[in-house]
Each structure stands twice: as structure tokens, then as C-alpha cells.
């Protein structure tokens, strides 16, 4: 009887350190990788995202073969391709007379749920191993969360700092503070030197993938070219070194800034590589930490970067697995408006939204403040259905996988979970965007005007959002002063805000 196992490697598991690879036998087992239309279209992913993953998968398969593994790789255009991961495992199991299947746990609940049924469907044992690329296991996070009335990233982050020893002196944080975020909110000016992220010329494998994606997914959102993403671990490491040498020292100061003509500022553009497995997140944090100890990067920059990875990234994964599958249906404000058309076209008079969405179309990337305080803030203020917002974010960004995107969108951006993840809605008027960007200078709306046809739509929408959701938000202690300001306004002024917002929303499609 065959003892051969199949080891399935998913498109976001492109690392030799994968738990299923560590448990596999090079001489006996067969690695299975497959490009399947089901995964490319369960939401209509950005063309660049599909091309990045398919090319990275093909390159990783070549690496595995050169390392002595037998790899059964199914390309999308193979006539025998079944179109689904389940179908490909069934095909490979029959072809190779497999005795069992092993896979590292996927990052998305829908896939984990499907895999739970594979054993019965195949008539073979299917072993789902934990994903050990994260600092906190599901049990670790559940143990931390148990008994807490509120789940706050800041307290979880401190535990991750203690566990990893990153930026620690004994049991205390270096610099005497856990969080230097207050120092990381400086607006940027376009006359600053702005580095560019490392870009890579497509090789033959990538060119073949780009041709395939253009043919098969040409009607998906986004621009396919120019394609400059790295697609190998070596290129991802080069991108990391470029960020560290050129951008890290100023990353902290300007991480919340936005400029029309500078899409990347001092951001790392490493999340797509980390989330796909091409970079190890903890190794990245330790590499960045060395820059602080060497005196080449300030503490506020290094701490801010580390917090995004071992703080937010680990925290939202914990929330996701703790609360799924019900979490995806959360809609605290009962918002039902359809996502406006301009989220696909970028055809809007609002300069900030136009810039963020156009950048997203062309790059499959926007940084966290553009996502949170521009596209996300507008959707929440306008009352857009959070499920539509979530699906948009999952489609359009190259680093988006549901485990990381869903809590960030439903919880942090849309407050659709009612405060499980964040202590208050991230709602803001046009003043915040004007302070942190140069978008307002080129906008047809006037950010200083509060109401009327010429007013920045964020201004009346902000108060409209607070008023229509007052029954759910007035008890929030962090919004008490805001509601006191609203209550002190004259009846005429409040009516003017609400009327201006209503007129804008009536035209919104």
C-alpha cells in the first residue's frame, strides 16, 4: 500500500519554513501547488494581485524542485485543471495513489471549512497543521482574550513585545514607553526627498503570467502594468533592505502623511511579501530592530513599524479566528447603502478619494491612512454596507487576505463590530485630511466650508453620521465631547449640516 502523502502549498504559504513542509519527507511525498480560478474569482481580485501570486507560486515551485522536492504544479491554463483546490487535491490523489494529505492551515475561514470536508470526499486522512509563522497561536489569543470585556490591541501588543523581546530592556520597553505613535503624525511636504520602493523587471516566468492574467482576468479591477513587484524571497529581501536603508529612518515621522504625487512616501511596501510568505515577519522585525541599536533609525520609526507587525497584524488575526464565521456579518450601524461607483472608477470630484482610488487601481496598494481615513472613513460616514466595503478591500489590494483585511475593515475602519476591535469609530471631517495631506489644495470642494454645495462632503457627513447613530454612540466615553459640541450648536446650524449631507447623499450612486 502506498505511503506517499500529498502536501498542499497555498499561494500565501511560499516559505520553506511552512509547518507542512517541515513535516514532509523529501524522498517520499509530493508537493501540490495549483493556480485555480475559484481562488482568483471568489472575489474578483485585482489583476496585479493575481499576477503577483501566480508568479510567486511558480518561482517558489522552481525553488522547491531545485531543493530536491517533487512538485505537482497545475497552471491555470492546463486543460486538466479542475478549477478548485478541492478538485486539484482529488486529481493529484488519484494520479499519485496518495495515502494521505497534509496542509498547513489556510488563512481564510472559508477554506478551512472546506478542508474539513476533504477527508470524507477523498476517502483519505487529511491533516491540517497549525500555521507556525505567527507569534500567537489561536489558543494563545483565546487565552489572552478570555474574560476581557474589551479586546484592545495595545495590551495585546505589550504581551507580544514581552514574548519576543523586541525593543525590550528586561521586562520594560526601551525608551520607557510602549508606544510612540504620538510622534508619528507629521504631515509631509513634497519637497522632501522621497525614496522609491525596490522594483523588479519581470522575468520570463512573470511575463508568461502577465500574459495569462491579461487573457483570463482582463475584466477584473485594476491595471496590470507596469508590474514591478518582487516574486521571489531574494527579491523580497532586497525590497526589505531598500526600505531599511532609504526609508526607515523617516517612516515614523511621516507614516500618517498623504501626498498626491508621492504614493509610497516612507512606507515599506513589504506587507504583500510578508503575507505571501516571502518574508518572515519576526525576522523582519528583528532586522529593523538592529537599525535602532546601531543608531541608524530612531525609536519612534522602529517601534511604529514593529507595532504594525507584531501588534496589529497578530491582533487582527486573533480576532478573525476567535470570532468567525459570524464576524463577517456584523453591521452595527445597519448600514445599507451600495458602494458608490467611483470606488471602481475613481471618477469623483473629491480629490482625496480620487487620488487614493486611482492609486489603488494602478498599484494594488494604498497605505493604511489612505485606507482608514479616506476610503474607509467616507464609506462609514456615508452609511455604506460594510460587507460591500469589506469585499472591495479584499479585491483591490495585493496584500489583502480575509484574516487580515476583514477585521481591519469591519472592525477598525467601519466600526461594524460595535467596538469589539476599536474603542471608537475612526470618523473624521475634512480637517483631518487637510492636515495630513495635500489633497485639499487641488479639490473642487472647499475644506474650510462646512455646509452648502461647495463644502467638503466630509464636513456635513461627519455630523450626519454622528446624529443618525446617536442612539448607539452617545454612550461612548471617547465621543462625549464631540456630542457636547453638537448639542451646543444652534438648531439652524445643525439643520444646515444635516440638509447639506442629505443633498449630497441623494446624488451619491
**How confident is residue 185, by pLDDT bands cut at 50, 70 and 90?**
low
* Cα distances (Å, whole numbers) of residue 405 to 19, 125, 200, 319: 23, 31, 26, 11
CB atoms within 10 A of CB 223: 14
CATH T-level assignment (fold) for domain 5-129: Rossmann fold (3.40.50)
- DSSP codes of every residue in 82-115: -SSHHHHHHHHHHHHT-SEEEEEPPSSHHHHHHH
Rounded to an integer, the average pLDDT of 395-400 is: 98
Rg (CA), the chain: 24
pTM listed for this prediction? 0.95
Domain parsing of the chain, residue ranges: 5-129, 138-197+247-323, 342-507
pLDDT at residue number 265: 86
CATH number of 342-507: 1.10.579.10
**How confident is residue 190, by pLDDT bands cut at 50, 70 and 90?**
low
Rounded to an integer, the average pLDDT of 135-152 is: 93
Total residue length of the chain? 509
Is it the case that residue 483 has pLDDT exceeding 90? yes
Is it the case that residue 1 has pLDDT exceeding 60? no
pLDDT digits (tens, 9 = 90+) for 424-444: 999 999 999 999 999 999 999
SS3 211: helix
Rounded to an integer, the average pLDDT of 388-401 is: 98
C-beta separation of 347 from 379 below 8 A: no
Q: Give yes or no for a cis peptide into 325 (omega within 30° of 0).
A: yes
Is it the case that residue 408 has pLDDT exceeding 80? yes
Average pLDDT score over the chain: 95
Cα gap 458→429, rounded to integer Å = 5
Rounded to an integer, the average pLDDT of 123-140 is: 97
Cα gap 266→255, rounded to integer Å = 7
Rounded to an integer, the average pLDDT of 10-28 is: 97
Ranges of H-type helices in 18-152: 19-22, 37-41, 47-66, 85-96, 109-115, 118-122, 138-145
Rounded to an integer, the average pLDDT of 471-488 is: 96
Cα gap 188→237, rounded to integer Å = 27
CATH number of 138-197+247-323: 1.25.40.80
**How confident is residue 255, by pLDDT bands cut at 50, 70 and 90?**
confident
pLDDT digits (tens, 9 = 90+) for 55-100: 999 999 999 999 999 999 999 999 999 999 999 999 999 999 999 9
* Cα distances (Å, whole numbers) of residue 430 to 265, 343, 447, 457: 21, 19, 6, 8
Is it the case that residue 164 has pLDDT exceeding 90? yes
C-beta separation of 133 from 15 below 8 A: yes
C-beta separation of 213 from 58 below 8 A: no
Alpha carbon 24 to chain centroid, angstroms:
30
Of 76-90, 170-184, 239-253, 391-405, the range with the lowest mean pLDDT is 170-184
Amino acid at each position: 500500500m502506498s505511503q506517499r502523502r500529498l502536501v498542499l502549498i497555498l499561494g500565501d504559504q511560499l516559505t520553506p519554513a511552512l509547518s507542512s513542509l517541515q513535516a514532509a519527507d523529501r524522498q517520499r511525498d509530493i508537493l501540490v501547488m495549483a493556480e485555480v480560478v475559484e481562488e482568483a474569482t471568489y472575489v474578483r481580485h485585482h489583476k496585479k494581485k493575481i499576477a503577483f501570486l501566480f508568479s510567486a507560486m511558480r518561482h517558489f515551485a522552481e525553488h522547491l524542485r531545485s531543493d530536491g522536492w517533487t512538485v505537482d504544479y497545475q497552471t491555470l491554463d492546463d486543460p486538466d485543471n479542475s478549477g478548485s483546490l478541492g478538485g486539484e487535491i482529488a486529481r493529484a490523489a488519484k494520479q499519485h495513489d496518495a495515502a494521505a494529505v497534509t496542509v498547513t492551515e489556510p488563512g481564510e475561514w472559508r477554506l478551512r471549512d472546506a478542508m474539513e470536508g476533504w477527508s470524507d470526499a477523498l476517502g483519505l486522512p487529511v491533516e491540517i497543521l497549525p500555521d507556525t509563522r505567527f507569534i500567537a497561536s489561536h489558543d494563545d489569543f483565546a487565552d489572552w482574550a478570555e474574560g476581557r470585556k474589551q479586546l484592545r490591541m495595545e495590551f495585546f501588543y505589550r504581551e507580544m513585545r514581552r514574548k519576543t523581546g523586541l525593543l525590550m530592556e528586561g521586562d520594560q520597553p526601551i525608551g520607557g514607553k510602549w508606544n510612540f505613535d504620538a510622534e508619528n503624525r507629521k504631515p509631509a511636504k513634497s519637497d522632501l526627498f522621497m525614496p522609491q520602493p525596490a522594483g523588479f523587471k519581470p522575468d520570463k516566468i512573470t511575463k508568461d503570467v502577465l500574459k495569462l492574467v491579461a487573457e483570463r482576468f482582463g475584466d477584473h479591477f485594476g491595471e496590470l502594468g507596469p508590474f514591478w513587484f518582487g516574486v521571489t524571497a531574494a527579491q523580497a529581501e532586497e525590497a526589505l533592505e531598500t526600505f531599511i536603508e532609504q526609508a526607515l529612518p523617516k517612516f515614523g515621522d511621516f507614516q500618517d502623511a498623504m501626498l498626491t504625487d508621492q504614493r509610497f512616501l516612507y512606507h515599506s511596501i513589504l506587507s504583500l511579501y510578508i503575507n505571501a510568505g516571502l518574508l518572515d515577519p519576526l525576522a523582519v522585525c528583528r532586522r529593523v530592530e538592529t537599525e535602532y541599536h546601531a543608531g541608524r533609525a530612531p525609536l519612534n520609526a522602529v517601534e511604529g513599524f514593529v507595532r504594525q507587525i507584531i501588534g496589529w497584524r497578530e491582533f487582527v488575526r486573533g480576532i478573525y479566528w476567535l470570532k468567525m464565521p459570524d464576524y463577517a456579518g456584523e453591521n452595527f450601524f445597519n448600514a445599507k447603502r451600495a458602494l458608490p461607483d467611483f470606488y471602481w472608477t475613481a471618477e469623483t470630484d473629491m480629490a482625496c478619494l480620487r487620488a487614493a482610488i486611482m492609486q489603488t487601481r494602478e498599484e494594488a496598494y494604498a497605505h493604511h491612512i489612505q485606507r482608514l481615513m479616506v476610503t474607509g472613513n467616507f464609506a462609514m460616514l456615508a452609511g455604506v454596507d460594510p460587507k460591500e466595503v469589506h469585499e472591495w478591500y479584499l479585491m483591490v489590494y495585493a496584500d489583502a487576505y480575509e484574516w487580515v483585511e476583514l477585521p481591519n475593515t469591519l472592525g477598525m475602519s467601519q466600526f461594524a463590530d460595535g467596538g469589539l476591535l476599536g474603542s471608537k469609530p475612526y470618523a473624521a471631517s475634512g480637517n483631518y485630511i487637510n492636515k495630513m495631506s495635500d489633497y485639499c489644495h487641488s479639490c473642487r470642494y472647499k475644506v474650510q466650508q462646512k455646509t452648502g454645495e461647495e463644502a467638503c462632503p466630509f464636513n456635513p457627513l461627519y455630523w450626519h453620521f454622528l446624529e443618525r447613530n446617536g442612539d448607539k454612540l452617545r454612550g461612548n466615553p471617547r465621543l462625549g465631547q464631540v456630542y457636547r459640541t453638537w448639542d451646543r450648536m444652534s438648531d439652524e446650524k445643525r439643520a444646515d449640516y444635516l440638509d447639506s449631507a442629505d443633498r449630497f447623499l441623494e446624488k451619491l450612486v
